[in-house]
Structure 1
C-alpha cells in the first residue's frame, strides 16, 4: 500500500465523517428547494431526494477542489515543485502545472531573484534558485570571501540576508566590535 492510500478502517471512518457532514447540507438544500420542514422534506419522490443528495455532493466537491488548490499553493509557497505536487496527486509535473497554474511561483525576471547587500564595507549577492530557495556569496571589507551555509539553502531572501549580514559584520574593518 502506498503512503497516501488508506486502510479499510480509515475508509469507513472517512465515509461516515463525510456522510455526517453532508446530511445537514443536503437537508438545508432540500428544505430551501421544497419549502418543507426538516422532518417532512425527505418524504418525497425518491428521485427528487436522490437529486438533492447529489446537489449537496456537488457543493462538497467544489469546496474540496478549492481546499485542494489552497493546499497546493501553500506547498508551492514553501518551495514544493510541480513535480512534487504531481507525485502526491498521482499526475505528471505538467498535469500539476495545468491543475494548479499559480501554485509554484517563479521569479518574474532574471534580476527578480537577485539582490545585493552592502554592509560594514563589504558586499554580498543574494540569489534565488529555480526551486525558490535562496543563497548568498560575498566578500567582507577585509577581503575574506564568504558563502551560504554548507550547501543548505535558505527558505527566504530575508534569512539569506541575515546570514550574509552576520558574515559582513564579522569581516568589517576599522572596528573592534565584531560580536
Structure 2
C-alpha cells in the first residue's frame, strides 16, 4: 500500500465460492484517517464503518469480515455468489473525503457439491461436444464418399467379368507378343524372325 493524496482500489477481483478475499487498496490517503467505511453495491448497504479505533461491523457481516486499520484492506471470508458486486471504500481525512470502487466477481463452486459448473467446465464441455460432432461428421463424410463414387472398369480388361473364359482372347492383345518380338529383332538389325 502506498500513501498519498488519493484513494485507488484494484479494478476487479475474481474469486471462487467458498474462498476468502482481501481487498487491499493500491494507494490510500495520508493519515490520520478520521472515518472509514466499506459498503456493498450501494452506500446504504454498509459492511463496516467508524474511526480506526472504533470500527463497527454490521450484523450481516459479523464473523465474516476483518479490517486492517493500517492498510484499510477488507477481508471477506467464505464467499458466496451473492458477494458478487461493487465494494466502495470511503475515507475521511482532515483535508477532504476520498472514495473509490472495486468489483468482486465470485464464480463456480469451490467445495464441489455440484450445484453449478464453473465457466471453465462449461467451456470444456462445449468444446468436447463440438469436437465430437466434427469427428462424427468427418467419418460420415469419409464413408459416404467411398460409396458414392462409381466403380469403373479398365478398358479392354475382362478380369472383372464373371463369365471370363480363359481360352477366350481379347482382340486388342492377340498379337502383342508378335509385335513386340518384331520390334526387338528390327532394332537388332534383323528383318526376319529367327524361327522363320
Task: Tell me, yes or no, whether TM beats 0.5.
Answer: no
The answer to which structure, 1 or 2, has the higher relative contact order (CA under 8 A, 6+ apart) is 2
> In proportion to residue count, which structure has more helix?
1
| TM-score bucket of the superposed structures, by smaller chain | under 0.3
Identify, as 1 or 2, the structure richer in strand: 2
Bigger Rg, which one: 2
